[in-house]
Structure 1
Amino acid sequence: MSVQTNLDSLSTIYEYHALKDFLIIRLIYHEVCSSDFIQQSWIEYLYDEQSITNQNYRAVAAAQFQVLNYLCIIADGTIQESLVQFYSTKFITNDFIPFSLFQTQTDSIVDIFQKTLSQTFKRPFEMTQDLLQGNSLMSVFQTNWKFTVLKTSSWSPIYTNPMFYNQTCNCGTSSKCTEPVFINNTLVDGLYIGCYPVETMLQSSLQCFYNQTCLQMILSYFGELPKNVTLRVLSVSNQYGIDETIQEMVDRLFVDQWIINQSYENYFLKCQPTYCTYSYIEYFNIFYTVTMILGLYDGLTVLLRILVPLMIYFLFRIFYKTKISNCPLTQ
C-alpha cells in the first residue's frame, strides 16, 4: 500500500511577511574586485603623466584600471541597494503553503530579482556611454579625438581630428574602435587600447593577470614596482574562464555565485497558522481489497446470525396472533 501525503494549513486572513524573514541571498564576487589590480597603489604605479596624450598602453593603463575599480564599486552598490528593497518585499499568502510550493515560489522570486538587477545596472550605464559618443565628447587622454594646430598665432583655431584604430576604425563614427596592446613587439593577451578607456576596458579581459610571466612583461614595461605595491596573480579557479571580457563580468555585476538560503521553518514560525488539516490519498492493492471484502463478509455473517432468529421469531408471533384473531368463537 502506497501513501501520498499533503499538509494543508488554513488561515482566516492574508499573511504578510518580509522576504528577509526566511530568504537570505549571499553573493560571491569575482576575485578581481578584491584584488591588488583595483587598488589605488596599482593605479598610481601605472599613471604616467608624460605619456598621457600618446597613443599607447602606457598612456591609458591607469585610466582603464580606474574604470575597473569604479565598475566594481558601482556594481556592489547597485546590488546592496537592490537587496534592501528585495528584503523588504512582502510575501503574501492567504493559506499556509506546503514546502514544495514554498520552494517553487521563492525560486521564482529570486530568478526575477536576478534578471531585473542586471537591467537596473545596465540601462543608466549604457545611456551614459551613448551620451558620450553622441555628443562627441573628447577624452582627456585624446584617445578618441586629437587636437591639431595648423599654425601658431594669438587667434589660431585649434582643430580636432578623430583617432583611428586598426587603421580603419574611426572614433568619430564609433566609440568601440580598439586595437590590441603590444609590448616590445609582443602581443599582450586580452588587453586593448581604443577610443574611450571605459569602452576599451569593457572589451578587454584579465587573461594576462592570471599569468605571472605575462604580468612580469607589463611590470618591465612600466618600471620597477614601488615598495608599497604588492601583486598576486588571479587564481584560475574562476568558473567563467580566464578569457572572459569585462563586459561579460559587468553583465552579471561581477557575481560569480549566488547562494540562496531558504528557510521553510522560519516561514512556518512567522505565519503561525490558525489550524492544520492533514490529508492523504491511499491506493488499494488486491490483497488489501480482498481482506476488506472478507472482513465485511465475516461481519455480515455474524450480524445475520443474530438478526435472522429474531426476524423469524417476530414473524411467527405476528402470524400466530393473526390466526387467533380470525378463528370463530365456539357455541
Structure 2
Amino acid sequence: MNFHQRLNLTIDQSKLNVPTTLTHLLYLIRMINNGNAFISTYGTNFEYIHPWEDIYNTYTPTQAMIYDNNCSCGLYSNCTTQATFILTNPSEIIPIKGLKIGCTPSESFRASTLECFYNESCINLIKQYTIKANRINNTSVFQPLSTKNISFPINTSIAKLIDNLFITDWNIKMNYTSYFEQCFPLSCSYNNIQRFNVFHIVFTLLGLQGGLALVLEWICPKIIRIIVKIYEYRKKRRNVVQSVFTVETIPIENIDNSVSILELTPMNETFQ
C-alpha cells in the first residue's frame, strides 16, 4: 500500500469516526443532564409550585413543563414548541421563524434552524424586540446570511449540522515531499512482542492432533502391509534343510568273541 492509498484510507476513517465520537459524547452529556433533572434557570423544563396554603413548608415542589404533543420535560429532554415574542397583550403572539423553545436551551438550539438568519425581516424582528440589539447602531453586524454556495437546505436542523460537524466540504491536499521532510527518519525499526496465549496453544494442539489423525489413518495400513510382507519373506528364507544322523547297533556273532559294529545311517529331516 503506497502513501496516497494509506492516506486516503486514514481520511475516510476520520470522516466516519470523528462525527460519531462527537455525537456519542454530546448524547452522553444530554442524558446526564436529563437523568439528574437539572432545573434550568430560565424555568423552561420545571416550574416551582408555591404552596400558598402552607407558608411554613420547608421545600417547594415543582412540576414538569408540557410542550407540543403533550411532551413532558419530566420524561423527555427534547420537548419543544415554536419560539415567539409575546407582546404586552398576551393574545398577540409573534412567531420567530425556525426558532424553537423547549426544556433546555441546548435542546432548543438543536431543534431550531437557521431560517430566520437568512431573512432580513426576521432579523429586524429580533432586533426590534431585543434590548441588547437596540444598543448597537452598526447594522452591518445583522446582515442576513448568504444563500450562495450552501450545500444544505436552509431549514436543516442545527442538530443535523452538528452531526456533520458543520462541514460542507472536505478540502484535502496531499504532499508526500512535505510529509517526508517533516518526518525525516534516520532509521526505521519495529518490535514484535509475543505473549503467552493459552488459547493459541490449545488451538495449535487441536490442529496438530487433527493433522496427525489424518496422516496416520492414511499411512498406518500401508506400514502394516509392508511389515507383513517382510515377515513372510523372512519366514521363507529360514526354511533350512538339516541332516540328522541316527545311530543303529547291529550285533555280529563270532566264534571267539562278539563285536558290535556301529552303522551310521543318515536320515534327512527338515526343520522349520
Gaps of 5+ in 1: 1-96, 273-331
Q: Tell me the CA shift for residue 244 of structure 1.
A: 1.6
Q: 2:25 aligns with which of 118, 124, 127?
A: 124
Residue 115 (str. 1) matches residue 16 (str. 2) = yes
Could you list the per-position Cα deviations for residues 149-179 of structure 1 after superposition, in whole angstroms to 9, with x for gaps in the alignment? Answer: 1225233531100000126111111111101
Residue 236 (str. 1) matches residue 147 (str. 2) = yes
1:181-192 to structure 2, matched below 5 A, reads 181-183=83-85, 184-192=92-100
**1:176 aligned partner:** 78
Distance 1:168 1:250 in 2: 27
Distance 1:268 1:193 in 2: 52
Q: Tell me the CA shift for residue 257 of structure 1.
A: 2.2
Distance 1:194 1:157 in 2: 26
Q: Tell me the CA shift for residue 271 of structure 1.
A: 7.7
Identity %: 27
Residue 225 (str. 1) matches residue 134 (str. 2) = yes
**2:193 aligned partner:** none
| Residue identity matched to 1:175 | S
Could you list the per-position Cα deviations for residues 212-257 of structure 1 after superposition, in whole angstroms to 9, with x for gaps in the alignment? Answer: 0111122222245213663221111221121121111111222222
Distance 1:115 1:267 in 2: 23
Q: Tell me the CA shift for residue 194 of structure 1.
A: 0.6
SS of equivalent to 1:227: coil
Q: Tell me the CA shift for residue 210 of structure 1.
A: 0.7
Distance 2:12 2:143 in 1: 35
1:259-274 to structure 2, matched below 5 A, reads 259-266=171-178
Distance 1:254 1:140 in 2: 29
**1:103 aligned partner:** 4
Q: TM-score, normalised on structure 1? A: 0.48
| Residue identity matched to 1:234 | L
Give the aligned CA root-mean-square deviation in angstroms: 2.4
| Residue identity matched to 1:158 | T
**2:117 aligned partner:** 209
Q: Is the CA contact (8 Å cut-off) linking 2:128 and 2:134 kept in structure 1? A: no
227-236 or 237-246: bigger deviation: 227-236
Residue 143 (str. 1) matches residue 44 (str. 2) = yes
Q: Is the CA contact (8 Å cut-off) linking 1:149 and 1:157 kept in structure 2? A: no
User: How many residues matched?
Assistant: 173
Gaps of 5+ in 2: 86-91, 186-272
**1:154 aligned partner:** 56
Q: Which has the higher contact order (CA 8 A, sep 6+)?
A: 1
Distance 2:178 2:5 in 1: 16
**1:84 aligned partner:** none
SS of equivalent to 1:143: coil
